[in-house]
Amino acid sequence: MSRAHVALVVHAGRQDAVALASTTASELVARDIEVTVVALERSAVFGELDALDEIAPDLLVSLGGDGTFLRTARRAHELDVAVLGVNFGRVGYLLNMAPAELHGAILDVLTGAAQIEERAGLCVDVEIDGQRSELFVVNEASLEKTVPGHVVRINSSIDGEPFLSYAADGVLVATPTGSTAYNLSAGGPVLAPGIDGFVMTPVAPHFVIDRSVVLGGEQVLELRVVGERPAVFVVDGLSAATLEPDGIVVCRRHRRRLKVVVLSEVGLGQRLRESLRQGHE
């Protein structure tokens, strides 16, 4: 029987995270568990965790902030393994594990005793540098203005039927996991993490309906850049491309869920309360 293998993905610039990774690795090795520690630098790029393909870990653990978690979660989804995020000060849908609880939580995952939520993510189809790409999105994808003081113009359609045209600072599409992030600050609704669907929210729209639209898991949303100005395409906080007019982004719920380790004693009410409270601090 092969030994269990855990990959610890740590923000290299956070000494508290680096120290926890070191002590946790020692404790796991003492239990005959294989450990790989991957240090992420401050610069965020796609594909920096590709080396984990050769390791085939049973669990990915994120030690850092939301950015570290998002990068780790995308890789966990590609490998179809669970991701566990350690909370270094934030609470919410992403990070709910305190540092002191990490060792026990990892053991619970490896023995099958942990609670794992399956979250709906987005599959976003977009043309980047002349090639069609499908990207998995944990939190949100957005089209945003490129020129200060000028709006970006975006036409939307749902299941092939024209919907609304927006003149706004941007339009974002968020997963239930990401609904407490950019979507919430833009005035969008909070979705329970287990909902099968996603939400579209305009950002500072001009002379148009400013309400969000919640879509079901089987629906397809298309956003097209129109007018004279391009838009920046952003995925989970990273700028992925600049789309010229007539550039199209197609969003749908990804066919495979993201597996997130959560604390069984922390209910939805507490996570919602903490997330909403932070938005006013």
How many residues comprise the chain? 281
Contacts of 63 (CB under 8 A, 6+ apart): 8, 9, 10, 11, 14, 17, 18, 20, 21, 86, 88
Neighbour tally for 2: CB within 10 Å: 7
Report the Cα–Cα distance between both ends of the chain, in Å, rounded.
49
Q: Can you point out the beta strands (E) in 81-230?
A: 82-86, 115-119, 122-128, 131-137, 140-145, 152-158, 161-168, 170-174, 197-203, 213-216, 220-226
Q: Decide if 165 contacts 209 (C-beta within 8 A).
A: no
Out of 16, 32, 58, 66, the active site residue is: 66
Which of helix, strand or coil describes residue 117? strand
User: Can you tell me the distance from the alpha carbon of 19 to that of 15, in angstroms, rounded to the nearest whole number?
Assistant: 6
Active-site residue 236, yes or no?
no
User: Can you tell me the distance from the alpha carbon of 85 to that of 64, in angstroms, rounded to the nearest whole number?
Assistant: 8
Active site residues per annotation? 66
